[in-house]
Structure 1
Amino acid sequence: MNQLRVLLVDDDPLVRTGLSMILASTDDIRVVAEASDGDEAVPAVNRHAPDVVLMDVRMRRMNGLEATAALMALADPPKVVILTTYDLDEYVFDALGAGASGFLLKECSPQEIIDAVRLVAAGEAMLTPSATRRLIGQFVATRTNPRRRQARAALASLSDREREIVTTVAQGKTNAEIGAELHLSEATVKTHITRVFAKLDATNRVQLTIFAYEAGLVSA
C-alpha cells in the first residue's frame, strides 16, 4: 500500500510526539520528518517530499503563515493543514489565503487529525468546513474594498456554470454532491474546478471559498 507521507512542523516537541503517535496508529500514513519551526520546513519538504504538512501557526522564528507561503512557492508544493489553538486567529485566515488546505484546532480528536490528512491528500475540502467558512466569512467582512473589487472583477472571467461550481465549493460540498445538484458527472465537476483554479490562480478549494466570499457569491 502506498502510504501518505507527512511532515510535522511545530516548535513544541511534545505536540510533535503526540501527532506522530496518532498518525503511527494507521496503516496508510507515515511521518517522514519533523521540523521545529518554519525555517526548517522548506528544507525538510525538499528533502523528504511529504504529501501533507501539519503546520503550527505560531512559532518562535518563521511562523506558519510565512512557512506556508514559502511552501506554496515550490514547484510541487505539499498540502498544508494549519494546527492552531485559535479558531478565530487572523494568522489562520492569512495562511488559508496563502494556500493552506484547511485548519485543525489542536484539541480536536485523533480521528479528526487522521481524517484531515487523508482528505487534503485526496484534494478534498478542509476537515471542518463549517468552522473554516465561519472564519473566512468573519475576516472577509473586515477586509479592505480593493480585495473585494478585485474578486468581483475576476468574476467576469468565469462562465455561469463556473460561478455555480465556485458557489457550491464555498458551501463545503464534495464533488459528488456538486454533481448531483448540478446534474453533472464527477469527472465534469473536476474539469470545471481545474479550469477555475487556472482562471483565478488558485491552488485549492479553500482559496475558491475565500474568493466566493470576497466576490459576494456567498455571504457569512
Structure 2
Amino acid sequence: MVSIRRLGAINRTYRHLTRYRQILRILFKYGFHDLVDYLHLDHYLETGLQMISRKPREQIFRYSRPERLRMGLEELGPTFIKLGQLLSTRPDFAPPDYLDELRKLQDNVPPFSYEEVQQIFQEDQGKDPTEIFTDFAVTPLAAASIGQVHLARISSDSLKSTTRSPKNQKASKRDVVVKVQRPGLESIIEVDLEILLRSPP
C-alpha cells in the first residue's frame, strides 16, 4: 500500500513539475533562456523539457530586457509580481532602468477577466454578482497582485441582515467597493514558495 505521506509527496512533485514547466515556458517566451541556463533551472525538467519551445517570438525583442522582465513577472503571477515589487525598492540591487520598469508592478498589474470574477462568486457564494448587488461594474476600478476591486451598489434591504437599521428606514442604495481575490491565489503562492525555498540539489 502507498502511504498518505507518500501520496502527498507525489502530489507535490507533480504540482512542482507542472509549475516548473510554466515558469520555464514563460522565461523562454520572453527571451530569458540565458537565465534558465545560468540558474540550471532545466535540471528540474530533464524529461519533457523538449516539449517546451526555447525560441521566443521575434516581436518580443521589440521590448527592452527590463520591459520583458516586468512582462514575464506579470504573467508568472502574484508571487513573482511581489518579488518584482520588492526588487523595485532596491536601488542597491538592480540598475535604474530595471527599477523604473519594476515600479510599474506597484500600480499597473493586469486585471483578470469578469468571467473569472463570476466563477469566483459562484464558487464562494453560489450566486452571480448581479444577484447580490443591484449594480456591479464589469471593469475593475483597480488591480493588484493579490486581487482587484470593483465598484458596486447594494440595496439597504440586503444590509439589514448584517446591520441594525431603524425599522422605519426607507429603502435606499449604497455604493460599495468589492475586493475579489485572484483565482487560485493560495495554491499558486503555496507551490511557488515551495519551489523558491527548495534547496538546490
TM over 0.5: no
- TM-score of Structure 1 vs Structure 2, range by shorter chain: under 0.3
How does the TM-score come out when normalised to structure 1?
A: 0.25
How does the TM-score come out when normalised to structure 2?
A: 0.27
